Structure formats: structure tokens, C-alpha cells
Amino acid sequence: MTSAPEGTPNGVDPFRHIGLFYRDVGEYAAACAEFVEQALDAGDPALVAVPGRNGELIRGRLGAGAATVTFKDMARDGRNPGRIIPSVLLAFAGANPGRRVWIIGEPIWAGRDDIEYPACVVHEALINAAFAGREASILCPYDASALAARALADAARTHPLVGDVNATWASPAYRDPVETAAMFDLPLPDPPRDAAPYTFRGTIALPAVRAFVAEHATAAGLRDQRLEEVLVAVNELATNTAEYTDEPGMITAWVENGSFVCQLDDFGRITDPLAGRVPPTDSATRGRGLLIVNELADLVRLHHRPSGTSIRVHFGLPACPDGPGGGEGQVAAGV
């Protein structure tokens, strides 16, 4: 596929975000390798962040050139879609200041669960806001033979450019990224009837919140470092509620499809669509709470209710480390 970067005259954004539609492993490997080879020919840094063995398909096509490419497993590093922009994409760009970066990022694949999918689309939309004006090319492969029709349609909404192994063109379906992300700010399914709720108010209640979560997380089977990570993440959410709202908040905990799940409901409002995705400046003393939550959790879903905000965080249990949804309701199903 042809995807050489545009220049910057006349205010043209140097950032290019391309949705690649492929139909078999041959097309996948050929198009991705060609994209990386453009970076190598230009002497630019390249990152390949794709799930599982897909990276080996690309590595095999690159031959000796693969030695200079950074590879990451998106199934691990991008398990939580909210982690991808700060901890994968921006981290790579930040490690290469003053240079154009070329990134293959594959956040949506046939094994993604329906409960993860809205967070994936929000991520794809907000890449455009996070990277606006940056010297970067990001290629996002989509398996047109396995993914549902809705996933391909949403890819066209979230990528200014789309293409196949032969060519790249402007997507007529592309929309404002913040507006598109808001379309996937969907109500969360109700917690199960046996979920345990805990209402709290103010910072004085934070130790009790941590004790409540520790009890239920331990009962679910979480231990040691993972238990500490759960407590840190939920404490960050509860602290935001205690510090920024005058009303009580509620933590609800339960086990669902191989994950320990906590949901925070409060009367606050998160107004920055990039909160938790773009790190604050080094001198900032606030603004890292959601960033920490995204780093620690396996999935974060956020919904703005008319009266406040709900944030649901998933942590895979030891027996089911590969995903919040347990593999049900995959987006591969055609619609």
C-alpha cells in the first residue's frame, strides 16, 4: 500500500492515521512490511504493536531490517485499550523526540470481546486528537474476512485514511474524533444481583474503601502484587470522587467472566476526553489518577450518566489471564 507521509505546508497535519483492510495473512504481512520499510528507508524509528504471532508474520517479511524495529505484543501491552495511547504510542514517540515515528498498532482483532469493543473504538478515535500536529504515521490493520461489519464501518469513522494492500484513500466516513468517541460512551450493563456495594464520602473514608476492595478481591483469588495494583487503581478512582465532588460515591465489586470487577459511581463529570490517555507535564501535581488506572487495569469502561460518571475496571483473575470477557461475544461475529 502507498502511505508516504505528507509534508506540512499550508497547515497540512503531519500526522497520518490509516485503517488497513486486509483479507488474508499474505496481504497483512505484505502491507505491514511495506509500511515499516518506508520508515527504515527514511531512517525513522518504527514500532510494531500487534497481537500474538502477527508480529512474527511482519518480522519474517522484513528480514534483517527487523533488527532495528521495536516489537510489542498488543494482546499484552494493549490488553486495556485505554493504556495504548499513553503507554505504547506516546511512550514510543517520547523516546524518539524530534523524529517522525512510524507505528503499526492493531487494537481490534477477532478475539476481542463485546465488552471491550467500545473502549477499542474510543481509543481509535482519540488517537487522532492525541497525535494531532505530531510527526507520526500510524497504521491500524483490520481483518476484513473475520471482523464484524460494524468493526469495519467504525474503522472508517475513526481513521482519516483507509486502504488495502494496493492503495490508500481519504475515508468519506471519518468524523470528528471527540464526537465519535462520545458515540461509544455507552451505558454499562447492570452489575449482577450478588454484587457487593459500598457507599463512601470524603477522603476520611478511603481506608474503608481499600479494606472493602481488598476483602472482595482476595476472596476472588487476587494476591500479592496484583492485589496491590487493584487497591491502587480503585483508590485513585475513589480519591478523585472524594476530592472533586461533595456527594457520596459508591464502589460495587463482583466477579464476572474470569475478572474481578469494580465500578465507581459518583456525581462528578470528566470533561477532558483525553483524561487518562495523555500524561500531564512533569511539573504537574495532579492529573495522573486515570492514567494510573489505565496502566494497572485490564479494561476500563467509562460512561457519563446524566447525573454523574460511572467507571468500571476489570482485572483478570489468575485462572483467566487473557481477557476481561472470557472470550464470549467476540466482534468476529458478522452483523
> What's the one-letter identity of residue 318?
P
- pLDDT attached to residue 285: 60
pLDDT along the chain (335 residues), means of 10: 46 89 97 98 98 96 96 97 98 97 97 94 98 97 97 98 96 98 97 98 97 98 98 97 95 97 96 94 74 97 97 91 52 45
- pLDDT attached to residue 8: 42
- pLDDT attached to residue 284: 60
C-beta separation of 27 from 122 below 8 A: no
Q: Which residues pair with 136 in a beta bridge?
A: 101
> What's the one-letter identity of residue 58?
I
- pLDDT attached to residue 323: 53
Domain ranges within the chain, ordered by starting residue: 9-182, 196-316
Strand (E) or helix (H) holding 54: helix 54-62
Which stretches of the chain are assigned E, i.e. beta strand?
A: 16-22, 46-50, 70-73, 101-105, 136-143, 161-163, 168-170, 196-200, 249-256, 259-266, 299-305, 308-316
Q: How many CB atoms lie within 10 A of CB 300?
A: 23
Which CATH superfamily includes the segment(s) 196-316? Histidine kinase-like ATPase, C-terminal domain (3.30.565.10)
Unique residue bearing C-alpha cell 472470550? 327
Q: How many CB atoms lie within 10 A of CB 86?
A: 20
Q: How many CB atoms lie within 10 A of CB 236?
A: 19
Q: Which residue stretches of 99-223 are H helix?
A: 117-130, 149-158, 177-183, 206-220
Q: Report helix, strand or coil for 103.
A: strand
Q: How many CB atoms lie within 10 A of CB 110?
A: 15
- Measured distance CA(50)–CA(141) in Å, rounded: 9
For the chain, what percentages of helix, strand and coil (3-state, to nearest 5) are there? 40, 20, 40
- Measured distance CA(315)–CA(299) in Å, rounded: 7
- Measured distance CA(242)–CA(97) in Å, rounded: 37
Q: How far is CA 157 from CA 3, 86, 241, in A?
A: 19, 22, 33
- pLDDT attached to residue 7: 42
Q: If you write DSSP's letter for every residue of 193-232 in order, what string do you get?
A: TTPEEEEE-SGGGHHHHHHHHHHHHHHHT--HHHHHHHHH
- pLDDT attached to residue 320: 62
Architecture of the domain spanning 9-182: 3-Layer(aba) Sandwich (3.40)
- pLDDT attached to residue 3: 47
